[in-house]
Amino acid sequence: MRLSSAPWLQGLLLCTTLMVAAFASVVHATPITLHDPRIAAFVGQAQQGPFDTPVLVTGYPEFTGVFGSSSVGLANPYLAASVAAYFANGGFYLYVVRTAGADDASLIGVDGGPGARTGLQALRGQDAVGMVAVPGSVSHAVQNAMIALCESMGDRIAILDPVSATDVNAVTAQRVSLVSTNGYAALYFPWVQAAPLGVSQTLPPSAFAAGVMARTSPAVSPTGSLSTVSGFSLAINTTLDGTLNSAGICSLRQFAGPTFQVWGARTIASNVDYQYIAVRRMAACIEASVRRGTTWCLTQPNDATLWAQLTTDITTFMQTLFAGGWFKGTTANQAYLVQCGTTTMTAQDLADGKTNMLVGFAPLRAAEYVLTSITQQRPSATGVAPGSPRFSFAVPRPNPAHGVTTLAFTLPRESAVTLKIFDAAGRLMRTLAQGEQWSAGAHEVAWDGRDEGGRSAASGTYLARIESASGSRSQRVLWVH
C-alpha cells in the first residue's frame, strides 16, 4: 500500500497501529482499524480477462495486462479509458469486474452466494471497496442496482453518470427518479472531454469523480482539479451550478486558467444529515470500522464489563480520527460521542442477544451530530435453543435471466409468515404469503415480478416485508425484466 501518497490516511493508520500496544493486555478486545475508503470498483466490458471476478489493479498498465487496452466492438467502450482517467486523477487501487455484456442483466448480475456471483453482485465479497461505478451505463435499472448494493453493504458509495451529456432537464429528471434516503449515491454532470489515453474523447464523469474521491480524506468534500481534461460537454456557470446543487447533482466546471474541476459534492439523499458526500463517507467508514472491529464481542457475556470495554475501544478509535482532523470541535466532547450500555439496549435487546453501540460525530461541514447505530447480533438468545438459527431476511437475489428475484429468510422457530411486496410509493404489489405456517430454518420464495392482477412490474426498486412471530424485517428488492 502506497501510504505516502495519502498522508491523511498514513497518519490515521500510524495512530491505529500504535493502539495495538495499548490493547496488548486485554484478553478479548482487538484494536479497531480504519476501513480504507480509497479503493474503487468499476464494472464493465473488456476485450479479455476473467468474467465476473473482481481483479485488483494498481495502475493502468496492470489493467491492460489483464484486460487489454482495446475497446473496439464493445457495446460499452468506456471501461479502459475510465480506468486510465481514474489513476490519472488520484486513484490508488481499483477492483475491475469484467462482464459478458453491457445489458442490464449482465451488469446487475446474480447473487448466488460466494463463488456464484456475477456483475455488480460479485462486489459483495469485497469488503475493502469504498466506491462503485459502471462507467458509461445510464440505465435506470443498473443505477438502482448500484444504489441497492451500496445501501446493503453500507461501506461504499455509488458514483453515477448522467443520462445526457448536455440536457439539464433530462439529468434533473434522472436525479428525481433515483432514491437513496441516506445518500449512498452521487450523480455527476456533464460528460468530460479528456485524453487519459493520449487521444481526446468524450467520457462519462464517474471515473474522474472517483479519482478525486480516492485522493481525498473522507472528512473533506471530494472536489478539486482534474488531469487530462480539456473541456466539458456543457459549460456550467454559477447560476446553473446553483440549480444543479439544489437538485443534488454534482457539477464539473471550468474556471480561468483554464482549470477543470469537480465542483459539486452532494449526494442524492433526502435525509439532510447525509446530503454531503463527506458526511456519507465518514459515516460509512466509521460504521464499517466499528462493526468489523467489534465482532470479538459476540463470544463474550453481554454485560457491563463488555460494554465498558467496547466503549473504551470505540472511544480510542474516534479519538484517533479526531486527532486526524475529521470532526468539528476543539474538544472530544464537542467532536464525538460513544455509548454502549443500558442507554443503548433494552431488556428485549439483551434477551435477543444484541449488543447495540451508538456513535455520533460532528462533521466539519454540518453543525449537528450525525448518529450511527451498530448492532452485533449473537446467534442464540433467550427463548431460542443454542444452535438454532436467528430470524433474518437476506438481501434479495435478482436473476434477470430466469425472470425471478429470490427472497431468502430464516426463522428461529415455527411461525405464521406473511410476506408482501410494495412499490416505492408504499402501495401493495403482491402478497407472496399470508399467515402461512412455516417451519424453523431457511426458506426461499421466488417473486416473478408480477402484481396481484398478474401484470408485470416495471424494472425498478421495490420493498419486501416479512412478518412472523419472531418479528418483522424489510429489504429492498431489485426487479429487472
Residues 400, 361 share a domain: no
Does any domain span residue 383? no
Query: Cβ atoms within 10 A of the Cβ of 194, count?
Result: 27
pLDDT of residue 224: 95
In terms of pLDDT, which residue wins out, 157 or 12? 157
- CATH number of the domain encompassing residue 293: 3.10.450.690
* DSSP letter string, 58-123: SSHHHHHHHH-S--TT-SS--HHHHHHHHHHTT---EEEEE-S-SSHHHHH--B-STT-B-GGGGG
Residues 249, 164 share a domain: yes
> Which residues, 6+ apart, have CB-to-CB distance to 412 below 8 Å?
384, 388, 389, 390, 391, 440, 470
| Structural domain that includes position 458 | 392-479
Residues 207, 308 share a domain: no
Does any domain span residue 455? yes
Cα–Cα nearest to 466, from 426, 431, 424, 439? 431
Residues 159, 303 share a domain: no
Residues 471, 349 share a domain: no
Residues 420, 295 share a domain: no
- CATH number of the domain encompassing residue 230: 3.40.50.11780
pLDDT tens digit sequence for 222-238? 999 999 999 999 999 99
Residues 73, 202 share a domain: yes
- CATH number of the domain encompassing residue 410: 2.60.40.4070
Does any domain span residue 271? no
Count of residues making up the chain: 481
Residues 306, 229 share a domain: no
Does any domain span residue 387? no
pLDDT tens digit sequence for 167-215? 999 999 999 999 999 999 999 999 999 999 999 999 999 999 999 999 9
Residues 256, 132 share a domain: yes
Task: Indicate the number of domains in the chain.
Answer: 3
pLDDT of residue 401: 61
Q: What is the pTM of this model?
A: 0.75
The answer to whether the CB of 256 falls within 8 A of the CB of 246 is: no
Q: Which helix H or strand E contains 320, and what residues bound it? A: helix 304-323
Does any domain span residue 370? yes
Residues 257, 155 share a domain: yes
Residues 127, 184 share a domain: yes
Residue 258, preceding peptide bond in cis (omega within 30° of 0): yes
Domain closes at, from 236, 264, 292? 264
pLDDT tens digit sequence for 19-72? 333 333 344 457 898 888 889 999 999 999 999 999 999 999 999 999 999 999
Residues 406, 300 share a domain: no
Residue 131 phi/psi, 5° resolution?
-145, 145
Between the CA of residue 269 and those of 24, 297, 369, what are the distances in Å? 41, 33, 17
pLDDT tens digit sequence for 289-338? 999 999 889 889 999 999 999 999 999 999 999 999 999 989 998 899 99
Domain closes at, from 377, 403, 431? 377
Does any domain span residue 269? no
Does any domain span residue 290? yes
* pLDDT confidence tier of residue 16, bands split at 50, 70 and 90: very low
> Which residue in the block uniquely carries the three cell numbers 439523499?
269
Does any domain span residue 405? yes
Q: Give me 64's grid cell.
A: 491492460
Q: What is the mean pLDDT of residues 147-167?
A: 96
